[in-house]
Amino acid sequence: MRKQKQNAKNIIKMLKFVYRLLCRVVYPECCPICDEVAPQQLTGDGVARICPTCRPKVTPVQTPFCMKCGKPLIEYAERVEYCADCKRIAHEYTQGRAVYVYRGAIIGTMHRLKYNHRQDYAVALARDAYERLGSWIERIAPQVIVPIPLHKKRKKTRGYNQAQLLAAELSRLTGIPMDADLLQRTMDTRPQRELSASERKNNLKKAFQMSKKSVQLEKVLLIDDIYTTGSTVDAVARVLKSGGVRQVYVLCVCIGGDKGEE
Ligand SMILES: [Zn+2]
Ligand SMILES: [Zn+2]
């Protein structure tokens, strides 16, 4: 019985591998929203990007956005600098920016990147991040790019860490080295979305640690796929700061919208 289970597991693993290979062949450079190969991708520079048909289906973060977390701000009567969340919470990180608002078609893309083995999306999404936020990265000049780590058990079942794929591509585009081993996720925490705000904070206490005792890093750029309340990046920033890092910046592909004052 156990052997049969193991065999089935191996077959599934192999099928997943073949599926991934086929995706690479069939969709070498496809749009991460509709999975079509856009005409200019066939004739142009051949790089993956969101196709013209899908552009209106996604919402890039535009000004005004929160000066702390990068969330787009709703229309307030007067000009404000921070979103309602950041007015309430004293974040551990220095500043964050995001590429897209987490609504519409990008939700499906992020889901497929994370759970459906569409690792190839990371290239197009990181390219978008670089196009929109490259000058910001240049200005903050981090010494190293660090992906938010997954617990090794979760990484083993998923086969990859989507944040690391995004970070690797951003590292290639910016020339800033990536260090995917600087941090470790020591606890396999419950998914943050299932918890309340205070549970989230507790859930993440001691969830991360630095694998190197002393690092001489002034500035670090953290990479993650989706920013919601910032409790994950805050937990990581706390660990990095206690390890001597002075400034922790955050780049996420997607971010929620400002909910306003409650
Ligand atoms: Zn498309
Ligand atoms: Zn904010």
Looking at CATH, the fold of the domain delimited by 52-255 is given as Rossmann fold (3.40.50)
Compute the distance from residue 49 Cα to the ligand 1 centre, in Å: 8
Q: What is the pLDDT of residue 24?
A: 54
Give the ligand whose atoms come closest to the C-alpha of residue 50. 1
Q: What is the pLDDT of residue 77?
A: 67
Compute the distance from residue 6 Cα to the ligand 1 centre, in Å: 38
Residue 256 has pLDDT above 70, yes or no: yes
Compute the distance from residue 106 Cα to the ligand 1 centre, in Å: 11
User: What is the distance of C-alpha 95 from the center of its chain?
Assistant: 15
Mean pLDDT of 241-247: 93
Give the model's confidence band at 40: pLDDT under 50 very low, under 70 low, under 90 confident, else very high: low
Residue 170 has pLDDT above 90, yes or no: yes
Give the model's confidence band at 17: pLDDT under 50 very low, under 70 low, under 90 confident, else very high: confident
Compute the distance from residue 80 Cα to the ligand 2 centre, in Å: 11
Compute the distance from residue 161 Cα to the ligand 2 centre, in Å: 26
Give the model's confidence band at 36: pLDDT under 50 very low, under 70 low, under 90 confident, else very high: confident
For the chain, what are the domain ranges?
Answer: 52-255
Q: Is the dihedral of CA 199, 221, 128, 118 positive or negative?
A: negative
Residue 236 has pLDDT above 60, yes or no: yes
Query: What residues have their beta carbon closer than 5 A to ion ligand 2?
Result: 66, 68-69, 71, 83, 86
Of 237 and 38, the structure prediction assigns the larger pLDDT to 237
Q: What is the mean pLDDT of the chain?
A: 87
Compute the distance from residue 69 Cα to the ligand 2 centre, in Å: 4
Q: What is the pLDDT of residue 113?
A: 95
User: What is the distance of C-alpha 109 from the center of its chain?
Assistant: 12
- Distance, in Å, from the CA atom of 106 to the CA atom of 258, rounded to the nearest integer, reads 18
Compute the distance from residue 101 Cα to the ligand 2 centre, in Å: 13
Residue 76 has pLDDT above 90, yes or no: no
Residue 119 corresponds to which tokens in the numbers above? 């690792």
Residue 254's nearest CA partner among 93, 121, 76 is 121
Biggest CA pair distance of the chain: 67
Residue 100's nearest CA partner among 73, 62, 54, 137 is 62
Residue 190 has pLDDT above 70, yes or no: no
- Distance, in Å, from the CA atom of 53 to the CA atom of 111, rounded to the nearest integer, reads 20
State the burial class of residue 237 (Cβ atoms within 10 Å of its Cβ: 0-12, 13-18, 19+): buried
Most confident of 138-142, 156-160, 193-197, 255-259: 138-142
Q: Residues with Cβ < 8 Å from 71, sequence gap 6 or more?
A: 61, 65, 83, 85, 86, 98, 227, 255, 256, 257, 258
Distances (CA, A) of 254 to 44, 98, 165, 231: 27, 6, 15, 15
Compute the distance from residue 84 Cα to the ligand 1 centre, in Å: 33
Q: What percent of the chain lies above the pLDDT cut of 70?
A: 87
Residue 42 has pLDDT above 60, yes or no: no
Mean pLDDT of 212-218: 77
Give the model's confidence band at 262: pLDDT under 50 very low, under 70 low, under 90 confident, else very high: very low
Long-range Cβ contacts of 174-180 (<8 Å, 24+ apart): 174/130, 174/134, 174/137, 174/138, 174/145, 176/137, 176/142, 176/143, 176/144, 176/145, 176/221, 177/143, 177/144, 177/145, 178/144, 178/145, 178/146, 178/147, 179/144, 179/145, 179/146, 180/146, 180/147, 180/149
